[in-house]
Amino acid sequence: MRVLSVVGARPQFVKAASVSRELRRDHEETLIHTGQHYDPELSRVFFEELGIPEPDYDLEVGSASHGRQTAGMMVDLEAIVEDERPDAVVVYGDTNSTLAGALVAAKAPPALVHVEAGLRSGEMTMPEEVNRVVTDHCSDLLLAPSEGAKRTLEREDVAGEVAVTGDVMYDTLLWIRDRLGGPADLAVPEEYVLATVHRAKNTDDPDRLEAILEGLRRVSKPVVFPVHPRTETALRGHGLWERAREDLRMIDPVGYVTFVSLLEGAVCVATDSGGVQKEAFYLDKPCVTLRETTEWVETVEAGWNTLVGADAGRIVESIESVGKLPPKPDLYGGGNAAGRVVDELERRWRG
Ligand code: UD1
Ligand code: UDP
């Protein structure tokens, strides 16, 4: 089987790491990096730490508006798909790199496979929601992380075939945990809250961003905050950067090894990241989500994740009241999702 995989942003490197490892045991993979993320701490570090093979193509698309960025990727991807003629194109998650790969494959001979299919926040104003819906409705094979995601796809009556594989990010987390040498080589307080913010809804609206900072600064424990470049630009643009640096432990984005280690050492995490909500669950950490909605609804229903939006009062209150977590359900499989992804591909292409 010949598979062409498309990645481009930080969470996709984490997802593709386990699938790529499994896939390459018996099959041929061509890896394309769109270049959506290009700073070494958002890109290269993940390839090095997770042993991801060098991309066969780097499209170097860089940052741009949604249309320009997605279209730029599509032009190059289309030419590569025509040249390589793979059996399948695999896309991950919900970024513009996902959408570009999906739109190209949907109109070309290879089948389109979506890993992390069936997630919905219900907010069509979120760029990622548009990417998810369009990708799912173009896909031939939809690999869902949970039964709930599968039900969503059935409700939407998608045309492709649906299977539940579990979450491939869990595989990667287990892989890295086996290799962690010890605590992160960062000077962190004994007790701290870890925070990440990068959603467009939170960064582009100065009132929301300020309310989040206000909530975090009122927390009694120190807050360690690796800052996504989008967020740094927004903080500077809204005149909030200096104050944030005074009140919070703002650090550059860290590599995956350091981030997982920081999460393991934290009292809890406050985040608007999709991936981090799940990693908190896997590492037995309470999660306070700085959004009104989430795609990872099962973590909220299980009592492991609290949605607080950008409300300063609710942020402090939720972080200060984290305590014992309820019994842990099995939500997203047992960390063997990548193997199941490859099984599903083989089942489909064996015939
Ligand atoms: C993207 C994804 C989002 C995902 C996130 C993971 C889309 C629409 N959004 O958001 O779903 O959760 O990645 O982190 O695809 N920048 C740099 N260096 C880089 C990359 C970006 O400085 O290496 C800055 C640029 O100013 C850029 C901004 O960050 O304009 C936003 O980058 P972009 O990739 O467009 O979106 P993200 O916010 O990273
Ligand atoms: N992450 C990281 N360093 C950081 C912040 C996040 O390695 O400074 C990892 C995190 O462990 C998770 C992934 O990046 O695996 C999540 O990416 P992000 O929050 O950017 O995107 P999302 O999951 O929201 O799409």
Q: Which residue has the least CA distance to atom 37 on ligand 1? A: 230
Output the pLDDT for position 100. 99
Ligand 2 centroid–CA 243 distance in Å is 24
Helix (H) or strand (E) holding 268: strand 268-271
Confidence of residue 59 (pLDDT cuts 50, 70, 90): very high
Output the pLDDT for position 252. 97
Kindly state whether residue 172 falls inside one of the protein's structural domains: no
Kindly state whether residue 80 falls inside one of the protein's structural domains: yes
CA pair distance 252, 156, nearest whole angstrom: 40
> Are residue 101 and residue 205 in the same domain, yes or no?
no
Kindly state whether residue 224 falls inside one of the protein's structural domains: yes
Output the pLDDT for position 176. 96
Decide whether any atom of ligand 1 lies within 6 Å of the 10 Cβ: yes
Decide whether any atom of ligand 2 lies within 6 Å of the 276 Cβ: yes
Number of domains, the chain: 2
Ligand 1 centroid–CA 26 distance in Å is 33
Ligand 1 centroid–CA 94 distance in Å is 12
> Are residue 57 and residue 182 in the same domain, yes or no?
no
> Are residue 266 and residue 191 in the same domain, yes or no?
yes
Q: Judging by DSSP bridges, how do beta strands 268-271 and 249-251 pair with one another?
A: unpaired
Decide whether any atom of ligand 1 lies within 6 Å of the 231 Cβ: no
For the stretch 185-206, pLDDT in tens is 678 899 999 999 999 999 999 9
Q: Which residue has the least CA distance to atom 34 on ligand 1? A: 36
> Are residue 12 and residue 158 in the same domain, yes or no?
yes
> Are residue 278 and residue 346 in the same domain, yes or no?
no
> Are residue 121 and residue 235 in the same domain, yes or no?
no
Confidence of residue 266 (pLDDT cuts 50, 70, 90): very high
CA pair distance 9, 38, nearest whole angstrom: 8
Confidence of residue 181 (pLDDT cuts 50, 70, 90): low
Which of 91, 124, 230, 296 for a ligand 1 pocket mutation test, highest count of atoms within 8 Å of Cβ? 230
Decide whether any atom of ligand 1 lies within 6 Å of the 279 Cβ: no
Q: What percent of the chain has pLDDT over 70?
A: 98
Contacts of 90 (CB under 8 A, 6+ apart): 3, 4, 5, 6, 19, 113, 115
DSSP β-bridge partners for residue 89? 4, 112
Does pLDDT of 44 surpass 80? Answer: yes
Mean pLDDT of the chain: 97
Does pLDDT of 351 surpass 80? Answer: no
- Nearest ligand, CA 128: 1
Confidence of residue 182 (pLDDT cuts 50, 70, 90): low
> Are residue 139 and residue 183 in the same domain, yes or no?
no
For the stretch 118-176, pLDDT in tens is 999 999 999 999 999 999 999 999 999 999 999 999 999 999 999 999 999 999 999 99
Decide whether any atom of ligand 2 lies within 6 Å of the 273 Cβ: yes
Kindly state whether residue 340 falls inside one of the protein's structural domains: yes
Output the pLDDT for position 183. 58
Q: What percent of the chain has pLDDT over 90?
A: 95
> Are residue 202 and residue 285 in the same domain, yes or no?
yes
In terms of Cα–Cα distance, which of 2, 5, 1, 66 is closest to 34? 5
> Are residue 302 and residue 341 in the same domain, yes or no?
no
CA pair distance 237, 42, nearest whole angstrom: 21
Could you list the residue range(s) of the whole structural domain that residue 94 is in?
Answer: 2-167+333-350
What residues are annotated to the active site?
Answer: 198
CA pair distance 294, 217, nearest whole angstrom: 24
> Are residue 154 and residue 14 in the same domain, yes or no?
yes
Decide whether any atom of ligand 2 lies within 6 Å of the 14 Cβ: yes
Confidence of residue 63 (pLDDT cuts 50, 70, 90): very high
Average pLDDT over residues 250-277: 96
The CATH number that applies at residue 63 is 3.40.50.2000
For the stretch 285-305, pLDDT in tens is 999 999 999 999 999 999 999
pTM: 0.98
Q: Can you tell me which atom of ligand 1 is nearest the CA of 275? A: 12
More confident residue, 190 or 99: 99
Confidence of residue 184 (pLDDT cuts 50, 70, 90): low
In this structure, how many other beta carbons lie within 10 angstroms of the beta carbon of residue 151?
A: 14
Output the pLDDT for position 214. 98
Does pLDDT of 213 surpass 80? Answer: yes
Kindly state whether residue 325 falls inside one of the protein's structural domains: no
In this structure, how many other beta carbons lie within 10 angstroms of the beta carbon of residue 218?
A: 16
Decide whether any atom of ligand 1 lies within 6 Å of the 11 Cβ: yes
CA pair distance 2, 47, nearest whole angstrom: 21
DSSP β-bridge partners for residue 163? 143
Side-chain-side CA neighbours of 273 within 13 Å: the count stands at 26
Does pLDDT of 4 surpass 70? Answer: yes
Confidence of residue 178 (pLDDT cuts 50, 70, 90): confident
CA pair distance 119, 79, nearest whole angstrom: 30
Ligand 1 centroid–CA 36 distance in Å is 7
Side-chain-side CA neighbours of 281 within 13 Å: the count stands at 30
